[in-house]
Amino acid sequence: MPEFPEMENYRRMLSEQIIDHPISHVLVNREKSVNVPAEQFAKELAGQRVIFVERRGKHLIFHLNSGRRLLLHLMLGGMLYYGTEENRPSRNTQIEIEFGQKTLYFIGLRLGYLHLLSAKEVDEIFKPLGPDVFDRRMNRERFAELLKGRRGALKSLLVNQHVIAGIGNCYADEIAFEAGLLPSAQIQDLSAETIDRLYEAVVRVLTDALAHGGYMETPFMESDTLTGGFDEMCKVYDREGEKCSRCDGVIHKIELSGRKAFFCPSCQHEH
């Protein structure tokens, strides 16, 4: 599932490609991916321009010049491609939005969606969401405050969007590894110094992942050479059975609260 680095990567590239270009045509191939009848969705978007692309956690918000918003959540398996019919990935598209000669393809929205909403409706949806990973007001003190009084496994907390928005399975494992903590480490048992180390790991891992285009391998467009660069840099995620890059241990995989978790039992600890 796309997480903060992937969605921020998309936001930056979309901002360079589609801003202020009129929408010339809209095709909805899967009506369940939108929240209004397909004909209404296409009619409301025709002739509109995206004037700003915003990201909140794992969501993108397309601000239209009409004042309306398109709220995107790619969920599991979703991706974007911007280009032409000839060079797009050979996969089914659920929604296609044309900007003149090029089209923005929404692919793999089996669970994801693109909803047409008012600004107020979007604000209501985000009320339960925790602060963004790189909120301007986020710092080590606020991070520690978010964890204060919470209980349970580290991984479960990191992927809880009501606590911090933007982290999912992949980066939770990478952050735990960077901090030298087991995914099963109990939040309530961590010292102030360990929480400080955890915050530094969050910032370091996500900054590196964004700089290298995240872990999703399919490029956003034909000339895109950045997307997916972090995949080969993952230290533990999806590396079961491989040798640890930090010690002589071997990467293990367990199930933790219904989620897969990858870690090195030799150099990751409970505290």
What residues are labeled active site?
Answer: 2-3, 58, 259
Structure tokens at 255: 């199930």
Gyration radius of the chain's alpha carbons: 20
Q: What angle do CA 21, 25, 28 make, to 5 degrees?
A: 125
Q: Which residues contact 160 (CB under 8 A, 6 or more apart)?
A: 130
Q: Where are the beta strands (DSSP E) in the chain?
A: 25-28, 50-56, 59-64, 69-73, 79-83, 93-99, 102-107, 113-117, 252-256, 259-263
* DSSP 8-state symbol, 181: B
Q: Rounded distance, CA 250 to CA 241, Å? A: 6
Q: Rounded distance, CA 2 to CA 82, Å? A: 17
| CA nearest to 53, candidates 10, 95, 106 | 10
